[in-house]
A and B are shown apart, each in its own frame.
Chain A
Amino acid sequence: MDLRVTEAPASPAEREAVDSVLGPPESGWSGGARTPLDGHVAIGGLSRARDRRRLLLPALHALQDRVGWISSASLGYLCARLDVAPAEVYGVASAYALFRYEPGPPVVVHVCDDVACRAACGGDPTGPIAARFGPAGSALGRVDGRAAVTWQPSPCLGHCEHGSAALVQQAGERGGRATLAPFTADDLGHLVSLLTPERSGAPGAPDGSDGPDPMGGLLDLGSLPVPLALVPQVVAEDVGSAGGPGAPGWTEGPGPRLLRRVGRVDPTSLDAYRAAGGYGPLRRAIELGPTGVIAELKDAKLLGRGGAAFPTGAKWEAVARNPVRPHYFVANADESEPGTFKDRVFLDHDPYALVEALTIAGITTGAEQGFVYVRGEYPLGASRLEHAVGEARAKGFLGSDVMGSGLAFDLEIRRGAGAYIAGEETALFNSIEGRRPEPRNKPPFPVDRGLFDRPTGVNNVETLLAVLEVLRIGGLAYAAVGTSGSTGTRLFCLSGRVTRPGLYEVPMGATLGALLSMAGGVAGGRPLQAVLLGGAAGTFVGPEDLDLPLSFEGAREAGATLGSGVVVVLDDTVDVAGVLERVARFFRDESCGQCVPCRVGTQRQEEVLGRLVAGRPLESVDAELALLTDLDVVMRDASICGLGQTATSLVTSALRRGLVPGVVGNGVTRDKAAAARASGDGEREDGT
């Protein structure tokens, strides 16, 4: 490949940002100053260039954080440094929502308007913001004579228990991100006021030769208040008193297991973590050896919490036994399913647990290199995890001799950049490799060809944390918790119109009603309209389903899914149509665009729903329903990955339950719906 890049020179700030990740350029060939030697010596070559492509995403982050956008010149410099074609880098960068390609205000406030906050706020949370500050994209505040702030709506930011949230993204020398939750129009007003004083004449941060940097210091992101973790102090035994013995799937609870340390142990101290039982499981894993650990996981009958419920022991064994080397192990902390915030709670408040669990996974499966892929919207979690990794490394819990075992394991943290699809395991591999976050075709499966085409284990955070518990109490003891088909405990993210929203841990098989009771039931004692179970890719269940046992088999039998443990409570005042439209918009925005059923199907689903909600069906309501059914079939059956295969799930479930405006539930005539509309009965006709 003859690399052709723009001749415009990157600014010193841009070069500095890229060099902060890649180091200084080695020669004129890779963007450095030309020297006579360059005509005679080539450094690196293709294989090294391939090896460095994995630094693409971190380098794009560095540019975004430092300069606020990715210019043509900075793209050229980055490409010269990595020996990757500019078109490819643009293709990668433009697949993520947190990168920009044109200059704008240095502070961008992403305000969540997704389903959980929508339910909690009783409408679109960005409504009051738009009313006071103008529509999304409005220029607010002034710094150095330029607009300082703008706002835009955002998909779920994973702070659902607070009922509202915003991600503040700032460019400049103090560039970076911080989350504010809860977040109201007043909070945006406060941010704007911090950035409003005209600072003309105040020296910007010098960045070398170009004089003052207009995007120098702005907000001190570190001084912004850290959102609290809402983990109600309700222990799992309470399931008994709430659901009552004899309730379907009722099990004597063991007390909080995964949540044991959250909110109680200093998340920034390895010593505190160890004093609270940390690194006991790793010691045990070293004693047991890979075969022993895998046997414990099999005894525990632990199933993956990522959605597919694949047996963890079997997955680890397949990686461990694969003769191809090297192996990799990846922790998927890219939770982006609307309504999900469990990974965030652990990253923020128990980061060592994830480091320890991933270390166990690594030494068990023969991987010496691990990755944690953290959502780009979790700045606090990423920094706490980074701190934890550094401390673990310094104290011999990571590195060439883990806990004196002679085994090597280390891990790298990768930050996502605003792409739900990157949570799909093979898209996540592509993202780490510096490629577009597009899912790969399966087979081959990751245990055979995963990250860098090598055998790779990948688990989500909750599964890895459960491994700690398995090793702490033993596989058989673990299997005694929960139901026979779904062992152990499960985390549930309660949000919306519930009295005490937060992260709950209950034994598998506890009923939905018991879980809601633990959380104090519907806020204000209002009637329950529906529960959004499992996330945007989940289903609605109704007030008549409170006996639903929350286990893999229980959900499956009811035609529902536990998904990522999302429980968004919708009372009778919540506008379900608005929720559905938001979900349709979510999938339209988050599809990677690779396959036709999902790329065009998500667009069409949004359109049909828009017509139904507006009461303007194209031919007839029947025709629109037939269209939705066809979309559901082709997307479920012919999409490449789970995103497309589940993108119609919630709308289909709402149709079945009569929650879609203008449409009564299954089996009830549509004529009635039409008649109701004709008689001016309102646009909505709820089946509840």
Chain B
Amino acid sequence: MTTVAPGAPGAPVTLRRQVELTIDGQAVTVPEGSTILEACRSIGTEVPTLCYLETLTPVNVCRVCVVEVEGSRTLVPACSRPVSGGMEVRTDSERVRTSRRMVLELLASSVDLSTAGGDVDRWIETYGARPERHGPPALSTERDRARAGEHEPVAVGTAATVSQAVKRDNDQYVRDYSKCILCYKCVEACGEEAQDTFAIAVAGRGFDARISTEMDVPLPDSACVYCGNCIAVCPTGALMFVTEHDLRARGEWDEGRQQVTRTVCPYCGVGCNLELHVQDDRIVKVTSPLDHDVTRGNLCVKGRFGFEFAEALDGGSR
């Protein structure tokens, strides 16, 4: 059997039926089966997303991408809802703006978003979210011991948060769940969507829901194989290379000084593309392009973390 990339010469021509809809009054035509998000992006309409990633099945849990669809009782998640003919979508109505503002506010008041990236800061500004109106943050600690169906209320006047101690139990990466928005991406990447390892899952429920290994055992006691695919999909920096974490802790992390070099992994013959993030002549992080045919952003432990030899060679040559 030969495989031909779609669009390549000789590829079978597949005709996807086109669907017409309107977005904010503008007529749009997209292939059948597209999501509202894809339709919005096709005309350059920005829809904020947090739990969405091109390479994963949408779980539509963050709800920041909600849009108004004529005839729907509630708002609908743009990331997962397929378009249908004649659909009338509004992405910037008062209703939409209120819900997006509140989602951002609820997250920002309960989660440390300091490493979530510039888009999040911009959206918080754009939608006018005011996380401080929920009160000063209450520090929680024993989140991993929370039991379903019970909780201690926080002190009156404070706002509960997901803050807890950083988990550092291995040499490769750090888990800082104070920054976790529970987007489920790491669980998907670790499990059926990429790695098939299932070292982590969502545990507990409600505000106490959390990402956890079984019984919260340290990673080395879990099924983790250190592929780091969870780090690659984490939108908030809750999962981070030890190198990045330590540089940030010392105030030395500076993306402006970093160079990203694309190369091919030297280990096996699969041909995974690597992006080496280099700061001050040291590899500080390794990623793989989401749109790469082979990896779709995923790597194994060797490609992701096996870069020390490069520095050893480098050091030797000097």
Given contacts A418-B149, A614-B156, contact A94 B63 (CB under 8 A): no
- Binary A-proximity of B214-258 (CB < 8 A = 1, otherwise 0): 110100011100000000000000000000000000000000000
Contact with B along A126-165 (1 / 0, CB 8 A): 0000000000000000000000000011010000000000
- Known A91-B201, A619-B133, A633-B99: A72·B151 in contact at CB below 8 Å: no
Residue A500 is within 8 A (CB to CB) of chain B in the complex: no
Number of A residues whose C-beta is below 8 Å from B?
Answer: 65
Q: Are B148 and A87 in contact (CB under 8 A)?
A: no
Tell me which of A1, A623, A627, A634 has the highest count of chain B C-beta atoms within 10 A of its own C-beta: A634
Question: Which of the 9-residue segments B3-11, B27-35, B203-211, B263-271 touches chain A?
Answer: B203-211
Q: Tell me whether A600 and B66 are in contact (CB under 8 A).
A: no
Is A638 a contact of B63 with CB atoms below 8 Å?
yes
- Contact among A88, A94, A100, A585 for B153, CB-based, below 8 A: A585
Q: Report how far A596 CA is from B159 CA in the complex, Å.
A: 15
Q: Which of B98, B107, B205 has the most CB of A within 10 A?
A: B205
Query: Is B150 part of the binding interface, using a Cβ–Cβ cutoff of 8 Å?
Result: yes
Among B77, B154, B198, B222, find the residue whose CB has the most chain A CB atoms closer than 10 A: B198
Chain A 196-211 near chain B by CB (<8 Å), digits 1 or 0:
0000000000000000
Q: Bound state CA distance, A633 and B66, in angstroms?
A: 13
Chain B residues within an 8 Å CB radius of A81: none
Residue of B nearest to A96 (CB): B148
Q: Does residue B300 face the partner (Cβ distance < 8 Å to A)?
A: no
In the docked arrangement, what's the CA distance between A621 and B49, Å? 33
Given contacts A588-B207, A595-B61, A637-B99, contact A87 B199 (CB under 8 A): yes
B199 → chain A closest CB, angstroms? 6
- Among B77, B98, B156, B202, max chain A CB count under 10 A is at B202
Q: How many angstroms from the CA of A636 to the CA of B107 in the assembled complex?
A: 17
Residue in B102, B148, B203, B207 whose CB lies within 8 Å of A603: B207
CA distance A155 to B150 in the complex (A): 10
A400 CB → nearest B CB, Å: 36
Across-interface contacts of A97 in B (CB, < 8 A): 147-150
B214/A75 in contact, CB under 8 A? yes
B205 & A592 in contact (Cβ 8 Å cutoff): yes
Residue-wise, chain B 86-120 has the 8 Å CB interface mask toward A (1 for contact) of 00000000010011011101110110000000000
Q: Is B197 an interface residue (CB 8 A)?
A: yes
A553 CB-CB contact with B under 8 Å: no
Instruction: Among A152, A585, A637, find the residue whose CB has the most chain B CB atoms closer than 10 A.
Output: A637
Among A79-94, those with CB < 8 Å from B are: 85-91, 94
Identify the closest chain A residue to B198 (Cβ): A85
- Minimum CB distance partner of B110 in chain A: A600
Chain B residues, CB < 8 A from A592: 205-206, 209
The answer to the question of A321 belonging to the interface, with a C-beta cut-off of 8 Å to chain B, is: no
Q: Tell me the complex Cα distance, A88–B198, Å.
A: 7
Query: In the bound complex, do residue B201 and residue A90 qualify as a contact, i.e. CB atoms below 8 Å apart?
Result: yes
Q: Select from chain B the residue with minimum beta-carbon distance to A100.
A: B147
Q: Is A659 an interface residue (CB 8 A)?
A: no
User: Complex Cα distance A631/B153, Å?
Assistant: 18
Asked whether B172 is an interface residue with its Cβ less than 8 Å from the other chain, the reply is no
Write the nearest CB–CB distance from A341 to chain B, whole angstroms. 19
Given contacts A595-B63, A610-B156, A638-B99, contact A88 B201 (CB under 8 A): yes
Query: In the complex the two chains form, what is the Cα distance from A100 to B200 in whole Å?
Result: 20
A600 to B161, CA, bound (A): 9
Query: Shortest Cβ distance from A150 into chain B, in angstroms?
Result: 13
Q: Which residue of A87, A607, A630 contacts B159 across the interface (Cβ within 8 Å)?
A: A607
- Cβ of B62 under 8 Å from chain A: yes
Taking a contact as CB atoms closer than 8 A, the residue among B60, B135, B149 that contacts A589 in the complex is B149
Whether the pair A633, B102 counts as a contact (CB closer than 8 A) is yes
Q: Could you tell me if A593 and B110 are in contact, using CB atoms closer than 8 angstroms?
A: no
Query: Which residues of chain B have C-beta atoms less than 8 A from A616's C-beta?
Result: 156-157
Nearest chain B CB to A355 CB, angstrom units:
30
| Shortest CB distance B88–A (Å) | 17
Q: How far is the CB of A70 from chain B (nearest CB, A)?
A: 9
> Considering only CB atoms and an 8 Å cut-off, how many residues of chain B contact the other chain?
61
A599 and B182 in contact (CB under 8 A), knowing A96-B148, A592-B206?
yes
In the assembled complex, A669 has its CB within 8 A of some CB on chain B: no
Q: How near does chain A come to B291, taking the closest CB pair, in angstroms? A: 26
Chain B residues with CB under 8 Å of A85's CB are: 191, 197-199, 201, 214, 223
Contact A441 B80 (CB under 8 A): yes
Q: Contact between A634 and B222 (Cβ–Cβ < 8 Å)?
A: no
**Which chain B residues lie closer than 8 Å to A631 at the CB level?**
102
Q: Which residues of A contact B205 (CB under 8 A)?
A: 94-95, 419, 421, 590-593
A630 CA to B99 CA in the complex, in Å? 8
Cα distance A3–B214 in the bound complex, in angstroms = 13
Q: Are A591 and B148 in contact (CB under 8 A)?
A: no
| Known contacts A633-B102, A638-B99, A599 near B62 by CB under 8 Å | no
| B63 A611 Cβ-Cβ under 8 A | no
CB <8 Å contact, B149 and A630: no
Whether the pair A593, B204 counts as a contact (CB closer than 8 A) is yes
A640 near B61 (CB under 8 angstroms)? Answer: yes
Q: How far is the CA of A89 from the CA of B202 in the complex (A)?
A: 10
How far does the alpha carbon of A89 sit from the alpha carbon of B214 in the complex, in Å?
8
Cα A394 to Cα B89 in complex, Å, equals 56
CB–CB A593/B153 < 8 A: no
Query: B-facing mask of A220-257, CB < 8 A → 1, else 0?
Result: 00000000000000000000000000000000000000
Q: Is the CB of A87 within 8 A of B213?
A: yes
Tell me whether B74 is interfacial, beta carbon within 8 Å. Answer: yes
What's the Cα separation between A630 and B98 when bound, in Å?
Answer: 7
CB closest residue in chain A, given B214: A86
Question: Cβ of A359 < 8 Å from any Cβ of B?
Answer: no
* Nearest residue, chain B, Cβ from A75: B214
Residues of B close to A89: CB separation below 8 A: 214
Residues in A with CB closer than 8 Å to B139 are none
Q: Quick check: is B54 within 8 A (CB to CB) of the other chain?
A: no
**A431 within 8 Å of B (CB atoms):** no
The verdict on B181 contacting chain A, using a C-beta distance below 8 Å, is: yes
Chain B nearest CB, measured from A413 CB (Å): 22
> Known contacts A97-B148, A152-B150, A599-B182: does B214 contact A593 (CB below 8 Å)?
no
Cα distance, A590 to B206, chains bound together (Å): 6
Residue-wise interface mask of B (145-179) relative to A, using a CB-CB cutoff of 8 A (1 in contact, 0 not): 00111110110111110000000000000000000
Asked if B281 lies at the interface with its beta carbon under 8 angstroms from chain A, I say no
A594 within 8 A of B: yes
Residues of A near B101 (CB, < 8 A) are 630
Q: State whether A597 and B102 are in contact (beta carbons under 8 Å apart), knowing that A618-B133, A638-B66 are contacts in the complex.
A: yes
Please pick, from A593, A633, A637, the residue contacting B206 in the complex, using a CB distance under 8 A. A593
A4 at the interface (CB under 8 A from B): yes
Which of B63, B196, B206, B217 is close to A602, meaning CB atoms less than 8 Å apart? Answer: B206
Q: Are A637 and B202 in contact (CB under 8 A)?
A: no
Query: Do residues B149 and A603 form an inter-chain contact, with CB atoms below 8 A?
Result: no
Say if the beta carbon of B134 comes within 8 Å of chain A: yes
B75 within 8 A of A: yes
| CB pair A589 B150 closer than 8 Å | yes
A588–B150 Cα distance when bound, in Å, is 9
- By a CB distance below 8 angstroms, the chain A residues around B153 are 585, 606-607, 610
Contacts of A123 in B (CB 8 A): none
A160 and B159 alpha carbons, distance in the complex (Å): 33
26 A-B pairs, CB-CB below 8 angstroms? A1-B197, A2-B197, A86-B213, A86-B214, A87-B199, A87-B212, A88-B191, A91-B201, A91-B202, A91-B212, A94-B148, A419-B148, A419-B149, A441-B80, A593-B209, A600-B207, A604-B106, A607-B134, A607-B135, A607-B160, A610-B153, A616-B156, A616-B157, A627-B133, A636-B74, A639-B63
The 6 A-B residue pairs whose C-beta atoms are closest, nearest first, are A593-B209, A97-B149, A85-B198, A91-B201, A634-B102, A86-B214
Known: A90-B213, A600-B207, A607-B156. 8 other contacts (CB 8 A): A86-B222, A87-B198, A436-B201, A588-B151, A589-B148, A591-B207, A614-B156, A638-B102
Name A residues whose Cβ lies closer than 8 Å to a Cβ of B. Answer: 1-4, 6, 72, 75, 85-91, 94-97, 100-101, 152-153, 155, 418-419, 421, 436, 441, 585, 588-597, 599-604, 606-607, 610-611, 614, 616, 618-619, 623, 627, 630-631, 633-634, 636-640, 645
